[in-house]
Copies of this chain bind each other. A is one copy, B any other.
Amino acid sequence: MTPSTSASADAPDPRRTAYDESFPAPAKAAIVGVGLLGGSIGLALRRRWPEIEVWGTSRNEARRRLAVETGCVTRAVADPAAACRDADLVFVCTPVGKIAQHCTALAAACPSRTLLTDVGSTKRQLVAQIEQDPRAAAMFVGSHPIAGGERTGPGHARADLFQGKRVVVTPTAQTDPARLRQAVALWQTLGSEVLQMSPETHDRLLAGISHATHFASCAVASILRPDELPLVGSGWRDTTRVAAGDPQMWNDIAMQNAGPISQRLGDVREALDRLIAAIDSGDSAALLQLLTEAQTLRKSLPAASAEHAPRSGHPENVSAARTDPAPGD
């Protein structure tokens, strides 16, 4: 259950040394869905292998043009199958609800040597779907880069988006060992620290550290009346920040990872019930213990380095902002 890192100790500069030279340098990569992540993969690949051909796809013409103009890809087309023809690497970067069908369709359009991967933030369900197709199963290794940014689209892509970030790779019993090694080496080459775990472990872990947090934040946000909003302080702003996220994207994630998310939201509800019970009964001792446990856990979080959390402007090593008087006496 504890994730294990597969980063090799003797790779001080992963960009230069991690890619396993027993795999040939890729001549062509395809990125299905050139958004922030797909675009950043393109930039990172082109920085590492300046000769590489990178084809990107989008159904949106303006986005295709932008992907080429920003150098994320060398060529952009609408048809995923056309982009993947002869590709050594294929990255499926669409919303999670569409990843499995893309992978299955594209496996048939690619040469059998192709490494097929994705960037979806859920894994169990889509990996299981892909593995129902033997050809796709043999070519696919699931990936989830824990990286992103406030802004979306190829216009905000960065070649160093994965530098120092974690990427979870989710092999199964059906995964081809050579392709797994290739996927690990590839993400390390793009600067990431690679963790390996099963799709099930990934989904349980992400349900806690990301998905349930998102839905709980939405629950907190939703209780305010619009006329109360102008009075909120920085505490409410931060606690509910993620609730501004795209409903369709989070709906897709919930549908792909319902069980673990529901279980973790149940944990939040139980924690809430304990707090409410302590407050209702005036049980200071119980409340203090619950608050101290939460504080201890939160304070034990390693400080965000500039690389790991560039979006968060406030330092993590100061105590919580308060709209309340500092105890002065």
Question: Quick check: is A150 within 8 A (CB to CB) of the other chain?
Answer: yes
Q: Which listed residue, B148, B219, B253, B294, touches A272 by the CB 8 Å rule?
A: B219
CB pair A32 B319 closer than 8 Å: no
Interface presence of A113 (CB below 8 A): no
Contact at A251–B287, with CB atoms within 8 Å?
yes
Tell me the residues in window 254-305 of chain A with beta carbons closer than 8 Å to chain B beta carbons: 254-255, 258, 261-262, 264-269, 271-273, 275-276, 278-280, 282, 284, 287-288, 290-295, 297-302, 304
24 sample A-B contacts, Cβ–Cβ < 8 Å, listed by A number: A93-B326, A93-B328, A93-B329, A95-B327, A119-B325, A148-B233, A150-B320, A209-B224, A216-B219, A218-B275, A219-B268, A221-B294, A221-B297, A226-B300, A229-B302, A234-B309, A239-B242, A241-B298, A243-B297, A244-B295, A245-B320, A250-B291, A255-B282, A262-B276
In contact, B262 and A297 (Cβ under 8 angstroms): no
A217 CB-CB contact with B under 8 Å:
yes
Instruction: List residues of chain B with CB within 8 A of the CB of A291.
Output: 218, 247, 250-251
B37 adjacent to A326 (CB under 8 Å) = yes
Q: Min CB distance, A154 to chain B, in Å?
A: 8
Q: Are A241 and B327 closer than 8 Å at their CB atoms?
A: no
Chain B residues, Cβ within 8 Å of A148:
233, 321-326
User: Which residues from B are CB-within-8-Å of A309?
Assistant: 233-234, 237
The smallest C-beta distance from A242 to any residue of chain B, in angstroms, reads 5
Q: What is the distance, in angstroms, from A98's C-beta to the closest C-beta of chain B?
A: 7
Asked if A240 is at the interface of the complex by the 8 Å CB criterion, the answer is yes
Alpha-carbon gap, A312 to B242, bound state (A): 14
Query: A55 at interface (Cβ–Cβ under 8 A)?
Result: no
Is A146 on the interface with B (CB-CB < 8 A)?
yes
The answer to whether A325 and B228 touch across the interface, beta carbons within 8 angstroms, is no
Q: Tell me, in angstroms, the Cα distance from A322 to B206 when the chains sit together.
A: 13
Instruction: Tell me, rounded to whole Å, the shortest Cβ–Cβ distance linking A155 to chain B.
Output: 11
Q: How far is the CA of A264 from the CA of B220 in the complex (A)?
A: 9
Contact of A238 among B232, B242, B276 (CB under 8 A): B242
Give the distance in Å from the alpha carbon of A157 to the alpha carbon of B265 in the complex.
Answer: 40
Which 3 A-B residue pairings sit nearest by Cβ, starting from the closest?
A313-B313, A33-B328, A35-B326
Q: Is A3 an interface residue (CB 8 A)?
A: yes
Q: Considering only CB atoms, which chain B residue lies closest to A278 in the complex? A: B254
In the complex, chain B residues whose CB is within 8 Å of the CB of A135: none
- Inter-chain pairs besides A209-B231, A265-B272, 9 sampled, C-beta below 8 Å: A33-B325, A35-B325, A96-B324, A153-B326, A218-B291, A223-B267, A243-B297, A251-B288, A254-B287
A171 sits at the interface (CB 8 A): no
- How far is B256's CA from A282's CA once the two chains are assembled, in angstroms? 10
Task: Check B318 against A237 for contact (C-beta < 8 Å).
Answer: no
| Min CB gap A221→B, angstroms | 5
A210 at the interface (CB under 8 A from B): yes
Contact of A216 among B3, B153, B216, B225 (CB under 8 A): B216
Question: A318's contact among B57, B151, B264, by CB below 8 Å, is which?
Answer: B151
Partner of A320, one of B241, B288, B313: B241
**With contacts A209-B231, A288-B248, A312-B313 known, is A152 near B319, CB below 8 A?**
yes
